[in-house]
A and B are shown apart, each in its own frame.
Chain A
Amino acid sequence: MLNMQGRPTHVGEVATGERQTFTRNRALQMEEPLIFETGRFDVTGVDIDEPEKFTPRLGAHARKSGIGLPGLTEPETMRHYVRLSQKNYAIDAGLYPLGSCTMKHNPRLNEKMARLPGLGDIHPLQPQSTVQGALELIETMAHWLMVLTGMPAIAMSPKAGAHGEACGMMAIKAAIAARGEGATRNVVLVPDSAHGTNPATAALIGYHVRAIPAREDGTVSAEAVRDALGPDVAAIMLTNPNTCGLFEKEIVEIARAVHEAGGYFYCDGANFNAIVGKVRPGDLGIDAMHINLHKTFSTPHGGGGPGAGPVVLSQALAPFAPVPFVRRDGEKLAFVEHAEGTQSFGRMTAFHGQMGMFVRALTYAMSHGSDGLRQASEDAVLNANYIRACLADVMSQPFGDRPCMHEALFDDRWLKDSGITTLDFAKAMIDEGYHPMTMYFPLVVHGAMLIEPTESESKASLDLFIMTLRDLAMSVRDGDVARFSGAPYFAPRRRLDETRAARQPVLKWVKPVTVAEAAE
């Protein structure tokens, strides 16, 4: 018998052209309202029994003001956040070449270890006898970081890179004060190419910023530093490898000049991932450097944190490190939690820093081992240079055709007169399935495009990326402006109006006024 039922199996005639759906959903891409628009205020997704009758001891402090928080049941919660997640790009989904952000693979073993109850479910103020393993873990992580950087001391508590910068600069300020020069040394040298956090940090702790111009080749010259040095200079803040993706080749000389002038050398370690196991910052003459565990040591970026920013310190700065720190007394480990009786500049945060990130970072470091970490740096540099070499003939490099470290920097000269900007090009990359590179940073390069592929990409993945960028570059030459100026076309949203957002800031959901209410 022939089965005459069932679905048609051929494609048939396909209508072309734009279609609108009734729901504004686009198949897997769902529009999702705010919880405030769908949640109800008498619903909860957590079953909690009412307590037995008791006499409250709140005094006169019970909440009388309303709250106004909607609730969702568990299945509704799951669906809301899964749908939201589907509007995000992620490393796990594709190449994420944000220069200086180091979007490398985040191993899931890290997550598993951070969730061991003995590491994730311990309180920072438990008796120290009950957290000896935690102290051992912090000590072990500290050891790895000190060996890899060749530095004798470390402060583990800073919560992120910028917090680490503040830590290093506060140690410098304390050391200078201890020398009796606190009143006279109040200037910090910062190159034009520095990340914005550097001048912001210097200003935060009361220093004046003196800018150092970058040289034609994108690096800082020892001569320019010498010219800017004087008895009023407390420190230099220099990123190495720098924000242009280049190793500061005169760094040893710069360090010497700064020290001779009585200043300290703060190295921004945001790009340490390029040189782990290849060169130790301690051998270059630095006094302090923060390490972004979320960059170099693969702790997840989480949509903007949490980070972690331990700071390695030279012998000169070590006495001024913040509390708390781990001290070993034979078999026993102890936290020194109070600055009294030490030269420590004090405390930067409640408790001990980002333990959850230490667990992940140590898991990553142990997995790689010193050999694997060195290989990772080499691969990161190799991948960046491969991209650079394969795009050099179609895009323009600001400092000539020369090797870079872990990120390749292009400028927008190759877009000149095309009517297409760096921003347009970036948005067209979105349509091709890529997260754009870092753009318009560093500020010293016009229309900068900073590409950091990381060591996590295979050659096949790089080749596809390169081919895509070449296709787009050809499209620029062909004058296909609309491909860029209107992009992205296929993302969950088209370009968003940032002017509108900034002119009339709407920073929270506000209950719409109904017609009846308005009439009252």
Chain B
Amino acid sequence: MRYLPLTPDDRAVMLMRIGARNIDALFADVPADRLLDAPPDLPRRKSEIEVERALSRMAAKNVAAGSVPFFVGAGAYKHHIPSTVDHLIQRSEFLTSYTPYQPEISQGTLQMLFEFQTQVAALTAMDVANASMYDGSTGCAEAVLMAHRVTRRKKTVLSGGLHPHYGEVVRTISAMAADDVTTLPPDIGAGEDILAKIDDSVSCVVVQSPDVFGNLRDLRPIAETCHVHGALLIAVFNEVVSLGLVEAPGAMGADIVVGEGQSIGNGLNFGGPYVGLFATRQKYIRQMPGRLAGETLDAEGRRGFVLTLSTREQHIRREKATSNICTNSGLCALAFSIHMTMLGEKGLRQLARVNHANAVKLADLLERTPNVEVLNESFFNEFTIRVKGDAADVIERMAAQGVLGGVPVSRLLPHAGLDDLIIVASSEVNTDDDRAALAAALQGVL
């Protein structure tokens, strides 16, 4: 087997040195009647060629985003990633190292995380950010738990513009601790009166902008009302590129900001691995979940970085930890950080403008398409359309014609009576031809 360096002779010599008569002598603590005498019933070893063939066969049954006019978003986005990013994250020293527990020989990862934290804090206009979460949705649930620790309250209010998956994740974890969650109805037009739900019993309010339907929301009045009542505002985003053009949640009074960072540096990967971004105010740092890299000095007085404030974490606090998280999303954070470093503020703003411009062009086109109505007053690179017909069916029929036209709202909210809505996303990868193909396909199936 090409990955196993020991030879049969090595094994014999080593067993002798150990003083074991055979390998099963080392498994003596396993109840004898449970020890398998042969490998389980699964295929035998395969060469590289055979494995490639098997995996490629599965891959060929899928339609890759880059191969068709592509407008699917709603929480994950198709963007162009510079070649440099993928090359660098595959460097052995990044790819095959562990969590930086030995800082003297992990300064590469630690400095990168420190830079990542600084980038995320800048993007969100918050004081501090952690070294990443699994993804935006789990980060959102962690933010809710953190708010409960800060406020010592247990009640959460979820906006109807929050990505339904995020809401489900929050409700799942809250149900386990019997914490109260109020979910507002789906809010297509960003018109909900969330302020009415905020009182002195509320721990946190979770609001997304751009919301799942693409609307942009002003968080300021919500933040003000939260703060009057001693509650925290958790601001969520799915599309981090929006921060290049849309007001930062930190500038609007958010107390915790969480979002999905996949758009920068990370591919679609059918839903994961992604990278959750998590930022908050300085005064809450000891209630933050996840890993943190911090600056310090070494014994010769040189600057270096370490994981810090680890007493919050499970390996020390055990059942009193702020979170049970052990790994973060290190390599995805690295991909994010490299891509963001290449963009810089200048590139990010340009990228955001192109995304917005393409979405505006698409909206203009679809508004002229019969039986299609664009619902958003404001949006960044994603908006919702109403079609004359069943949206899921429309999407399937367009897919059969080789156009992936968006996400039917019914896929996320099956029983909400929103069966004629499609969430359409557009990024820098879309061309005029793609847009024309979508408009034509819609016209064809409606």
Does A206 lie within 8 Å of B177, measured CB to CB?
Answer: yes
Whether B34 contacts A252 by the Cβ 8 Å rule is yes
Residue in A70, A147, A456 whose Cβ sees the most chain B Cβ within 10 Å:
A70
Closest Cβ of chain A to B325, distance in Å, is 6
Whether the Cβ atoms of A45 and B341 lie closer than 8 Å is yes
Partner of A82, one of B91, B111, B298, B304: B91
Asked whether B283 is an interface residue with its Cβ less than 8 Å from the other chain, the reply is no
- What are the residues of chain B within 8 A of A88 when measuring CB–CB? 93-94, 97, 105-109
**Selected interface stretch from B194-202, B221-229, B266-274, B434-442:** B266-274
A346–B360 alpha-carbon span in the complex (Å): 36
From residue 391 to 430 of chain B, which have CB atoms closer than 8 A to chain A? 395-396, 399-400, 404, 407, 411-412, 414-415, 428
Of B40, B56, B216, most buried by chain A (CB within 10 Å of CB) is B40
Q: Which residues of chain B have C-beta atoms less than 8 A from A386's C-beta? A: 14, 17-18
Interchain CB contact under 8 A, A118 and B58: yes
B260 to chain A, nearest CB (A): 8
B343 touches A (CB below 8 Å): yes
1/0 per residue, CB under 8 A from A, across B29-57: the answer is 11100111001111111101011101111
Q: Which residues of A contact B165 (CB under 8 A)?
A: 347, 349-351
Known: A86-B108, A200-B314, A382-B11. A303 touches B331 (CB 8 A): yes
The reply to whether B296 and A497 contact each other, CB–CB distance below 8 Å, is: yes
Chain A residues lying within 8 Å of B287, measured Cβ to Cβ, are: none
| Bound form: Cα–Cα A275–B354 in Å | 53
Closest partner residue, chain B, to A241 (CB atom): B29
Contact at B45–A369, with CB atoms within 8 Å? yes
Assess the B308–A369 pair: CB atoms within 8 A: no
Residues of A within 8 A of B103 (CB): 493, 496
Q: Which residues from A are CB-within-8-Å of B136? A: 350
Q: Is the CB of A77 within 8 A of B171?
A: no
18-44 of chain A: CB within 8 A of chain B: 24, 32, 34-36, 39-44
- Which of B105, B118, B119, B316 is packed against the most chain A CB atoms within 10 Å? B105
Which of under 10, 10 to 19, 20 to 34, or 35 or more describes the interface residues of B?
Answer: 35 or more
Kindly state the separation between the CA atoms of A453 and B23 in the bound complex, as whole angstroms.
17
Whether the Cβ atoms of A491 and B271 lie closer than 8 Å is no
**Chain A 57-112 interface residues, beta-carbon cutoff 8 Å to B:** 57-65, 67-72, 74, 77-78, 80-82, 84-93, 96, 98, 101, 103, 105-107, 109, 111-112
A183 to B440, CA, bound (A): 58
- Quick one: closest A residue to B238, CB to CB? A350
| B108 cross-chain contacts in A, Cβ below 8 A | 84-88, 303
B296's partner among A119, A123, A209, A498 (CB-CB below 8 A) is A498
- Interface contact A366-B82, CB-CB below 8 Å: no
Residue on A with the closest CB to B361? Answer: A54
| Interface residue? B233 (CB, 8 A) | no
Any B CB within 8 A of the CB of A9: no
A501 with B344: in contact, given A130-B62, A509-B114 (CB under 8 Å)? no
- Tell me, yes or no, whether A162 is within 8 Å of chain B by CB: yes
Residues of A close to B183: CB separation below 8 A? none
Q: Looking at the complex, which one of A32, A134, A502 makes contact with B270 (CB distance below 8 Å)?
A: A134
Contact call A60/B218, Cβ cutoff below 8 A: yes
Contact partner of A89 (CB less than 8 A), chosen from B62, B97, B317, is B97
Chain A CB within 10 Å, residue with most, of B269, B292, B318: B269
Instruction: Say yes or no: is A362 at the interface (Cβ < 8 Å to chain B).
Output: yes
A85-B91, A121-B66 in contact; A280/B36 too (CB < 8 A)? Answer: yes
Does A307 have its Cβ within 8 Å of any Cβ on chain B? yes
- B291 adjacent to A304 (CB under 8 Å): yes
CB distance from B129 to the nearest CB of A (A): 7
Are A132 and B61 interface neighbours, CB within 8 A? yes
- Minimal beta-carbon separation of A269 from chain B (angstroms): 14
Residues of chain B within 8 A of A486, CB atoms compared:
299
A390, CB-defined interface residue at 8 Å: yes
Q: Per a CB cutoff under 8 Å, which of B42, B82, B308 touches A148?
A: B42
Contact status A356-B273, CB under 8 Å: yes
Query: How does the 8 Å CB contact mask read for A484-520 relative to B, with 1 for contact and 0 for none?
Result: 0010100111111110111001111100000000000
Is A246 an interface residue when CB atoms closer than 8 A count as contact?
A: yes
User: Would you call A98 and B98 a contact (CB within 8 A)?
Assistant: yes
Q: A163-B138, A304-B330, A493-B107 are in contact. Are A67 and B345 (CB under 8 A)?
A: yes
The answer to whether B18 and A279 touch across the interface, beta carbons within 8 angstroms, is no
How many positions in chain A have a CB within 8 Å of any CB in the partner chain?
209
Partner of B272 from the list A173, A199, A200, A349 (CB cut-off 8 Å) is A349
Does A201 have its Cβ within 8 Å of any Cβ on chain B? yes
A122 to B272, CA, bound (A): 11
Q: Give the chain B neighbours of A494 by CB distance below 8 A.
A: 104, 298-300, 302
Q: Choose one: A55, A134, A366; the contact of B43 (CB below 8 Å).
A: A366
**A359 and B378 form a contact (CB under 8 A):** no
Q: Does B135 contact A (CB under 8 A)?
A: yes
For residue A447, CB closer than 8 A to chain B, the reply is no
Complex Cα spacing A455 to B5, Å:
8
A371 at the interface (CB under 8 A from B): yes
A418 is an interface residue with CB less than 8 A from chain B: no
Given known contacts A117-B64, A300-B96, A430-B102, A159 and B138 CB-to-CB distance under 8 angstroms: yes
Identify the stretch in A225-233, A259-267, A337-345 within 8 Å (CB) of chain B at 4 or more residues. Answer: A337-345
CA distance A170 to B407 in the complex (A): 30
Once the chains bind, are A50 and B42 in contact (CB under 8 Å)?
Answer: no
| CB atoms of B347 and A133 under 8 A apart | no
Chain B contacts with A in 267-319, Cβ cutoff 8 A: 267-273, 285, 291-300, 302, 304-306, 308-309, 311, 313-319
Interface centre among A61, A78, A337, by most B CB within 10 Å?
A61
Which of A162, A248, A300 has the most chain B CB atoms closer than 10 A to its own CB? A300
B4-40 at interface with A (beta carbon < 8 Å): 4-7, 10-11, 13-15, 17-20, 23, 25-31, 34-36, 39-40
Q: Are A147 and B41 in contact (CB under 8 A)?
A: yes
Q: When each residue 176-203 of chain A gets 1 if its CB lies under 8 Å from chain B and 0 otherwise, what string results?
A: 0000000000000000000111011111
Nearest neighbor of B355 in chain A, beta-carbon distance: A51
Write the nearest CB–CB distance from B170 to chain A, whole angstroms: 10
7 A-B pairs closest in CB distance: A71-B344, A118-B59, A351-B271, A302-B331, A133-B61, A59-B378, A44-B347
- Could you write out 28 A-B pairs with CB less than 8 Å apart? A35-B115, A39-B341, A61-B378, A77-B342, A85-B92, A86-B93, A88-B108, A90-B95, A109-B48, A112-B52, A122-B64, A131-B62, A137-B55, A148-B42, A159-B135, A166-B173, A203-B320, A205-B177, A306-B330, A347-B169, A350-B271, A367-B45, A369-B45, A370-B39, A461-B5, A491-B104, A501-B306, A505-B309
Given A48-B347, A84-B111, A356-B270, 4 new contacts (CB under 8 A): A88-B105, A90-B94, A137-B58, A302-B330
